[in-house]
Amino acid sequence: MFKNQQIAKDVYYVGVNDRQKHKFENMLPLPYGVSYNSYLIVDKKTALVDTVDISLGDIFISKIQSQLEGKTLDYLIINHMEPDHSGSMSLLRKYYPEMKIVGNSKTLSMVEGFYGVEENTLEIKDGETLSLGTHKLHFHFTPMVHWPETMMTYDETEKILFSGDAFGCFGTLDGTVLDTELNVDRYWDEMIRYYANIVGKYGSAVQKALKKLTPLDINIICSTHGPVWKEYIAEVVDMYDQLSRYRTQEGVVIVYGSMYGNTELMAETVAQGLAEGGIKNIIIHNVSKSDASDIIRDIFKYRGLIIGSPTYCNELYPEVESLLRKIEIRGVKNHVFGCFGSYTWASAAVKRLTTFVETMKWVSADVTVDEKQGLKTENYNSCLELGRQVAVLAKKTIEEIEHCV
């Protein structure tokens, strides 16, 4: 029934699109949906690389059966154990009971832990190979990109890197899967959002993986989410390199919480100061409206971050406090910072924001603005000056910022 798209000789795409799920991992909005990518190699021996979310398991099985045309499935290679990639494993086993599950020791421990499967497994070690006939597969362990068992599989014959979640992004694949046949414009920001929110904490592990993969001659990257990369491999790898080294663009993100508009007016004034300082990329997020995943994406993109908050119950505005925790968890580096706040009878927000930047070890503006009740002329001018100061800092190179820390 299904005509699966051919990626290379003997290699077929058997993944699926999910346009029903509202939030990835019940946290991250999916305005463009998401794909779960799986790849089938039909050689003397047959091998499937990763599965898909169980919610689409029936379509997945039909696509595999259509391609195998009665042949058996010899191997299931698991690059990553998250359930959106391993979830159809037990279903697959019902159709192909003799199929060997291939993974490293940590993978196979998780296979047992998640699905109770212990039989017909093949443990492989870093650097080992598996021959399917014409196709020779090499296994490269890439732990903590972004789980401890993650690995990548390299098809030496067709020079394909099956990269697991690395180089992936949100967004369904509409009508085709190859980047040469897609308008890829919408995927770039979704790749940054994906990286920042899911992989972002593990920059050092990504750097190790990139160095490990450098000797490979790669013609195609087959990730578990998003397009199959062929034309834009250099751009995709460079993006991961830049993001994992926290190499940001010149620009400033302003994030604020506001109940009655006073802190919002301060944010607008700070933005004016940034523009006067020559910053063109100014992104303003209201934490009560913008999703945190979009804010985190922009923080990973741009060098400057200015946060404003009213004092709320002698603490930060709750959504601002939640955002700070998300930033801290990801260990974001190489940023410049400014902060401002407002209060009615007792000040606490600016003190918490000052503690936050000390924890992050970022370069901070000298000016902070803390306004009691409505914005007055003196602090209006201070907000302008805060924007100007952060503009100067945001124009520094990463090397200059690192030297200042």
Give the closest residue to 82 by CA, choosing from 198, 181, 245: 198
Tell me the three state secondary structure of residue 12: strand
In which residue ranges of the chain is pLDDT below 70? 403-405
Question: For the stretch 59-88, what's the b/e string if a residue is b when 16 or more beta carbons lie within 10 angstroms of its beta carbon?
Answer: ebbebbbebbeeeebbbbbbbbbbebbbbb
pLDDT in tens, 245-282: 999 999 999 999 999 999 999 999 999 999 999 999 99
Distances (CA, A) of 202 to 72, 199, 353, 402: 38, 6, 24, 19
Tell me the three state secondary structure of residue 175: coil
In angstroms, the CA 32 to CA 191 distance is: 12
In angstroms, the CA 386 to CA 134 distance is: 63
In angstroms, the CA 384 to CA 380 distance is: 7
Give the closest residue to 23 by CA, choosing from 198, 182, 256, 185: 198
Give the closest residue to 62 by CA, choosing from 75, 52, 74: 52
What is the DSSP track for 16-76?
Answer: EEE-S-SEETTTEE-TT-EEE--EEEESSSEEEE----GGGHHHHHHHHHHHHTT----EE
Spacing of C-alpha 184 from chain mean position: 17
Residue in the structure block whose two tokens are 């697991």: 164
Dig out the tokens for 26 from the structure.
């019940």
Burial of 1 (C-beta count, 10 Å sphere; 0-12/13-18/19+): exposed
The packing angle between helices 349-360 and 318-330, to 10°, is 10
pLDDT for 202 equals 95
372 in Cβ contact with 347 (< 8 Å): yes
Dig out the tokens for 87 from the structure.
């979830």
pLDDT in tens, 170-212: 999 999 999 999 999 999 999 999 999 999 999 999 999 999 9
Dig out the tokens for 51 from the structure.
């599965």
pLDDT for 401 equals 75
Contacts of 192 (CB under 8 A, 6+ apart): 239, 243, 297, 300, 301
Domains present along the chain, CATH in parentheses: 6-244 (3.60.15.10), 249-404 (3.40.50.360)
pLDDT for 400 equals 74
Q: Which amino acid is at 110?
A: M
Beta-carbon neighbour count of residue 234 at 10 Å?
Answer: 9
In angstroms, the CA 383 to CA 28 distance is: 33
pLDDT for 405 equals 59
110 in Cβ contact with 123 (< 8 Å): no
If you count them, how many residues does the chain have? 405
Burial of 323 (C-beta count, 10 Å sphere; 0-12/13-18/19+): buried
